[in-house]
Amino acid sequence: MADAAVAPDPLREPWSDLSRQREAATLGMWLFLMSEMLFFGALFMAFSFSRALDPAAFAEAARHAEIAYGAANTAVLVTSSLTITIAVRAADVERGRLAARLLAATAFLGVAFLIIKGFEYRDDLRHHLVPGHDFALGQNATQIFWAFYWAMTGIHAIHLTVGVALVLRLFWLVRRGRISLASPQLEVTSLYWHLVDAFWIVLFPVLYVAVRA
Amino acid sequence: MSAFPIFPREASSFAPKTDALYFTLVAVSGAIALLVFVLIVVFAVRYRRGSSSPRGALPPLISHEFEIGWTTATLFAFLMLFWWAGSNQIYQLLPPAQAMEIHVVAKQWMWKIEHPNGVREINMLHAPIDEPIRLDMTSQDVIHSFSVPDFRIKQDILPGRYVESWFRATKIGTFRLYCTQFCGTAHSGMVGSVVIMSKPDFASWLAAQHPAGDLAGQGRALFTSLGCAGCHTPGGPIHAPDLAGLYGRKVPLSNGAFALVDAAYIRDRILDPQSNPPAGYDPIMPSFKGEVDDGQILALTAYIRSLGSSRGALR
Amino acid sequence: MTDAVVPIDHAEPRAARVAAGSYLDSEGGGLSEWLLATDHKRIALLYALMITAFFFIGGAAATLIRLELISPHGHFLTDDEYNHVFTLHGIIMVWFFLVPLIPATFGNFLLPLMIGAPDVAFPKLNLASWYLTLIGGICVLAAMMLGGVDTGWTFYPPYSTAFSNSNVAVAVVGVIIAGFGTIATGVNFVATTHMLRAPGMTWFRMPLFVWTIYATSLVMILATPVLAITLALVAADRLFGLPVFDGFRGGDPLLFQHLFWFYSHPAVYIMILPAMGVVTEVITCFARRRVFGYAMMVYAVLAIAIIGFTVWGHHMFVSGQSVFANLVFSFLSFIVAVPSAIKVFNWTATLYRGQITFEAPMLYALGFVGLFTIGGLTGLFLASVPIDIQVTGTYFVVAHFHYVMVGGAVSAYFAGLHFWWPKITGRLYPESWARFAAVLMFFGFNFTFFPQFILGYLGMPRRYHEYPPEFQPWNIMSSAGAVVLAAAYLMPLGYLTWACFYGKPAPANPWNAKGLEWWTSSPPPKHNFLRTPVVTEDPYDYHDSDMSPEPQARPVDVARAHG
Ligand code: HEA
Ligand code: HEA
Ligand code: CUA
Ligand SMILES: [Cu+2]
């Protein structure tokens, strides 16, 4: 793949120097990640606060979450973080083809996560675990737990979908040689991906594991 | 009410205290605002461009000390104000021990009031002067807020939860009652009056009403008709707690925490007895959710209280 | 109308003319060149247009409110209509007017100029911010068209989630989208400040306006996401029935209030900090004195931004939160006022021994100091729990926040608008009209909102469309004042539009001011500076002896060389 030859200059306005541009892109992404951390942080705070109001109901409700799906998905996402890390390293050392493959693998794992999640959602729906009148566990705080479950996993899934789209785009650009391997976009996208992964790492114990005890 | 009021009447024991704080703040902040404005005007005139006043740099030492000076001065002023406001607040929070208790149920968009002997009124609250009155309040739908400006009291009322407020009126008259938390279409129609009467007048007013029975008495009837008595009779076949003397106590729960037995706790026990039962009992009490309404819960609560309470002055 | 601003550069009118290379015309003037612009200066103008439109929509709602409140019986609007109107007013004014007001216009235009940069760090993201804000605003207006929203701008559940029959979800989604625009702006500005300062522009040489934009951006980044998730949970309840805040099922409606105010209190500092920055620039220029206590001003800005995150509970004194929490939040609210006090005193002290002139920007800025002081001091009333018990949920609160937001932030915006107008458009505005509008605004404002303090302590609840008749005189006074205020706001619309076409061409530095933005031509060229400026001195180097009315040529007055 003769990508480097046709790849456009990664330098963008208003920068006059690529290393500063990369530094700024990374800084910008970190700022955005700080913002995201407060986004999810507030959600986790709200969850813990609500659980403290009625720990028993939350424990009861959590017993109905399907830990097998959750565990499988954790494995999938952790692997995807690994592949995207290697992809960035590969790009650093100008191994464009390898980087493209690994990006594809990352996107694939992201989609796999979403599919597994879809199966889990289907089971949850069958078991009447959506808050409302025909909710399976009664009209009490178990509904609050499940409200959080849907909100948290849903928001995470949206983030992941965005991530998959970004990674696919990068994959396509890298494959076609439409982007220089020195572009800050690779690193920035991988940072985002790690963040989405990290949120799942927190979500998983909170929703599936900790409150079962 | 005067046609062009500029200041609310002082009609409760809180009013003079709140007003004293208010006037002090008006004076302090008025003085500060005046100081700032006068300085601006004086400087603006004296140092307008081309005036003959002397210019030149300030000695740096002075400017530095000025800054430290006014920063600490404001800090101290603020601390004093906070201290005073805070101590005032603590005073307001303690309802006297033998307060008369009135129940308030707020709903879109009316106030339902119930006196201890079961007399009910809507959007009106009659009460005697010089008597501490505790308001036990709950909402049936959204958040409302109980506000009587002439008494300087206000309290948000949350759905499904009991909140308290209290006052001791010091003036006879009719005072406006407002809902001050936005609650939908007719929020501005959710108003009423508080009528303060002399004690004899109040007694005769009360006697002239047609009570639906004494509240605790209603509760006793419910206690039997709902089947509570089947379990909560000391020495009976089922191991259930004795409710006499329970009100106001702290009871240990099965999860290790302690709970204060108050209206909210009793409500929880009736509606959701399975979660967190008191220590030493099996969670066999059935939930009465859907079977009792808020009025009945108030009656049951009144009955349980009438069985004796260990409620002290401080709680 | 021909009054010109003093001092004008009579010597060289041509050289200072709207140069062929200015950002206004160098890239073409077609619609698509503007709507796809990535130049920070063009984006600033896009924002200014959008914000002006929103201001007049919000202002029209305010007009309806004041019209309705003339009569105690509220015959003009029904109760539901009134609820929709003040909700629209609050949502539009807060999120689509005041939050972006100064950061997105002057921040965008001036931040790169003031630090000597060619643009912001991420120009495309900057444009995306504008679109996000626009789309959010369209959602809110659509919600209005589709039947309206009646929750108040605070969206308290369970009313907003379970009881309101209005279009809450659409409006909430609009606010969330605009919120992402705000976050993007914040990220952009922080990265710009860190990475693009010109050589010699050390942190402690930055103008205070840049400091306030920097602090504001940090608050935007850290507070806005909390609003986004909180409102997302409200939307989730309305759209999918997820009852996170439902008290009847074991949730807690107070949780929403904590989250909402955790954002919304810092948000009020998003509104006021940039305003403080503008006022600092203006006062120091027209007093021709170095800012009194520059370092202290920087620390005060940072302190306000940080402590501002800890006081949210003062909006919940009667909500049922614990006594202890009330005391702590009350205490912290007093503490956060200390740095604001420092700023007020420092502005005053800057005037001391100055060479003061009173052009329109200065009049607006002094008006700001007065109105902000009153608004801030009444904030202390609210921070005292016993007084807040009396006045929360009444017009006292309404008066407090209009004093700080309208009397404060909006006055500061007008100060900045007149101050930088020559730089932005390359034209001078008619000075005596502007002075007249400034004075009218000050008096109209007090006339409108001061009576509301009295109404508030009397107990008149807010969000009421009918009220007891004894309150009518004060309300009539307030509505009459609003007429004056409306006139004062419409005037600049007229004379500034006029100035766009017929105003005298502005020189590069009409005020003889010191910031880097005055080194380049008016209006500036596309990349701001033809050569990167090198900063060698501290900001606000106004010499005491410098009384000369003539603008001084700067060492790097590049545009002239270019022109
Ligand atoms: C720009 C916006 C802005 C700003 C800057 C402020 C600034 C402050 N606000 Fe305000 N506030 C709002 C916007 C703002 N507020 C809004 C929108 C609401 C209502 C929301 C709603 O319910 O819809 C609100 C509501 C609000 C409440 C809740 C009222 C209630 O609903 O019950 C409280 C309570 O503490 C409060 C306090 C304060 C304080 C202490 C400050 C301080 O930061 C002020 C500091 C400034 C000064 C103090 C003045 C200068 C100082 C001096 C000259 C020093 C000398 C003084 C002395 C020594 C005494 N505000
Ligand atoms: C930046 C914020 C901002 C600004 C600028 C304003 C500006 C004004 N506001 Fe507002 N206001 C809020 C923020 C703001 N407000 C908020 C957050 C609330 C709380 C909402 C809630 O409770 O949820 C509120 C609530 C509020 C109320 C209380 C409503 C209630 O609780 O019942 C009132 C009442 O007087 C009021 C009045 C005004 C007035 C007279 C102006 C004036 O300054 C406006 C002057 C401007 C004009 C008048 C524009 C001129 C344009 C025209 C004249 C065009 C007219 C066109 C037609 C009529 C077609 N506002
Ligand atoms: Cu009830 Cu407002
Ligand atoms: Cu606040």
Which phi and psi (to 5°) does residue C252 adopt?
A: -140, 115
Lowest mean pLDDT among B241-250, B258-267, C206-215: B241-250
What ligand 3 atom has the least distance to the C-alpha of B144?
Answer: 1
Alpha carbon distances (Å) from B203 to B207, B208, B215, C102: 6, 9, 17, 63
Pairing relationship of beta strands B110-114 and B120-122 according to DSSP bridges: antiparallel
Whether the link from the prior residue into B109 is cis, omega within 30° of 0, is yes
For residue C100, give the amino acid letter.
Answer: P
Checking if the pLDDT of C412 tops 90, the result is yes
pLDDT at C23: 85
pLDDT at C529: 86
Distance CA C27, CA C21 (A): 9
pLDDT at B237: 67
Alpha helices in chain A (DSSP H): 3-6, 18-53, 55-62, 67-92, 96-126, 142-176, 184-204
A contacts of B276 (beta carbons < 8 Å): 56
Q: Please answer whether residues B14 and C254 qualify as being in contact, where contact means their C-beta atoms are separated by less than 8 angstroms.
A: no
pLDDT digit string, tens, across residues C252-293 = 999 999 999 999 999 999 999 999 999 999 999 999 888 988
Going by the DSSP 8-state scheme, the letter that residue B106 receives in this structure is: E
pLDDT at B33: 93
Checking if the pLDDT of C553 tops 50, the result is no
Q: What is the pTM of this model?
A: 0.86
Checking if the pLDDT of C15 tops 50, the result is no
What percent of chain B lies above the pLDDT cut of 90? 35
pLDDT tier at C451, thresholds 50, 70, 90: very high
Alpha helices in chain B (DSSP H): 14-46, 60-93, 199-208, 215-225, 228-231, 263-271, 294-306
pLDDT digit string, tens, across residues B191-230 = 999 999 999 999 888 887 765 567 777 888 788 778 787 7
CA C434 to chain centre: 20
Q: Tell me if chain B has a CB within 8 Å of the CB of A91.
A: no
What percent of chain C lies above the pLDDT cut of 70? 93
Pairing relationship of beta strands B100-107 and B132-139 according to DSSP bridges: parallel
Checking if the pLDDT of A56 tops 50, the result is yes
Protein residue closest via CA to atom 1 of ligand 3: B144
Q: Please answer whether residues B162 and B127 qualify as being in contact, where contact means their C-beta atoms are separated by less than 8 angstroms.
A: no
Closest residue of B to C348, CA-based? B40
Q: What is the mean pLDDT of residues B32-54?
A: 88
Lowest mean pLDDT among B53-57, C96-100, C363-367: B53-57
pLDDT at B60: 64
Q: What is the DSSP string of A148-176?
A: HHHHHHHHHHHHHHHHHHHHHHHHHHHHH
pLDDT at C481: 96
Distance CA B56, CA B67 (A): 19
Point out the ligand nearest to the CA of residue C57: 2
Q: What is the mean pLDDT of residues C67-93?
A: 93
Checking if the pLDDT of C561 tops 80, the result is no
pLDDT tier at C11, thresholds 50, 70, 90: very low
pLDDT digit string, tens, across residues C319-355 = 988 888 999 999 999 999 999 999 999 999 999 888 8
ipTM score: 0.87
pLDDT at B229: 79
Alpha helices in C10-39 (DSSP H): 31-35
Whether the link from the prior residue into C523 is cis, omega within 30° of 0, is yes
Distance CA C367, CA A44 (A): 44
Lowest mean pLDDT among A163-167, B108-112, B174-178, B285-289: B285-289
Q: Which residue has the higher pLDDT, C199 or B69?
A: C199
Q: What is the mean pLDDT of residues B16-24?
A: 92
For residue C319, give the amino acid letter.
Answer: S
Checking if the pLDDT of C9 tops 70, the result is no
Q: What is the mean pLDDT of residues C144-156?
A: 91
pLDDT at A172: 93
Checking if the pLDDT of C563 tops 50, the result is no
Nearest to A23 among C195, C221, C226 (CB): C195
Nearest to A57 among B255, B275, B289 (CB): B275
pLDDT at C18: 38
pLDDT at B61: 62
Which residues have beta carbons under 5 A from ligand 4 (an ion)?
A: C 265
Nearest to A35 among C188, C222, C527 (CB): C222
pLDDT at A95: 87
Q: What is the mean pLDDT of residues C366-384?
A: 95
- Using alpha carbons, select from C188, C205, C225 the residue that is nearest to residue C116: C205
Q: What is the mean pLDDT of residues C449-454?
A: 96
pLDDT tier at B248, thresholds 50, 70, 90: confident
Alpha carbon distances (Å) from C197 to B80, C213, C531: 44, 14, 14
A contacts of C128 (beta carbons < 8 Å): none
The dihedral over CA atoms of C320, C324, C325, C329, expressed in degrees to the nearest 10, equals: 120
Shortest alpha-carbon distance between residue C473 and chain B (Å): 7
Q: Hey, how many other C-beta atoms are within 10 angstroms of the C-beta on A136?
A: 14
Asked whether the beta carbons of residue C341 and residue B70 sit closer than 8 angstroms, the reply is: yes
Does residue B187's CB lie within 6 angstroms of at least one atom of ligand 3? yes
pLDDT at A213: 44
Lowest mean pLDDT among A167-171, B215-219, C42-46, C552-556: C552-556
pLDDT at B88: 73
What percent of chain A lies above the pLDDT cut of 70? 95
Q: Please answer whether residues A141 and A57 qualify as being in contact, where contact means their C-beta atoms are separated by less than 8 angstroms.
A: yes
What percent of chain C lies above the pLDDT cut of 90? 75
B contacts of C366 (beta carbons < 8 Å): 40, 44
Going by the DSSP 8-state scheme, the letter that residue C352 receives in this structure is: T
pLDDT digit string, tens, across residues C487-537 = 999 999 999 999 999 999 999 899 988 889 998 888 998 888 888 888 888
Does residue C382's CB lie within 6 angstroms of at least one atom of ligand 1? yes
What ligand 2 atom has the least distance to the C-alpha of C66?
Answer: 35
Which phi and psi (to 5°) does residue B277 adopt?
A: -70, 165
Distance CA B80, CA B75 (A): 9
Q: Which residue has the higher pLDDT, B205 or C439?
A: C439
Q: Hey, how many other C-beta atoms are within 10 angstroms of the C-beta on C107?
A: 32
Closest residue of C to B189, CA-based? C466
Checking if the pLDDT of C75 tops 90, the result is no
pLDDT tier at B235, thresholds 50, 70, 90: low
Residues 47-86 of C with CB under 8 A from A: none
pLDDT digit string, tens, across residues C162-186 = 888 888 999 999 999 999 999 999 9
pLDDT at B239: 77
pLDDT at B209: 76
C contacts of A157 (beta carbons < 8 Å): none
Asked whether the beta carbons of residue B57 and residue C386 sit closer than 8 angstroms, the reply is: no
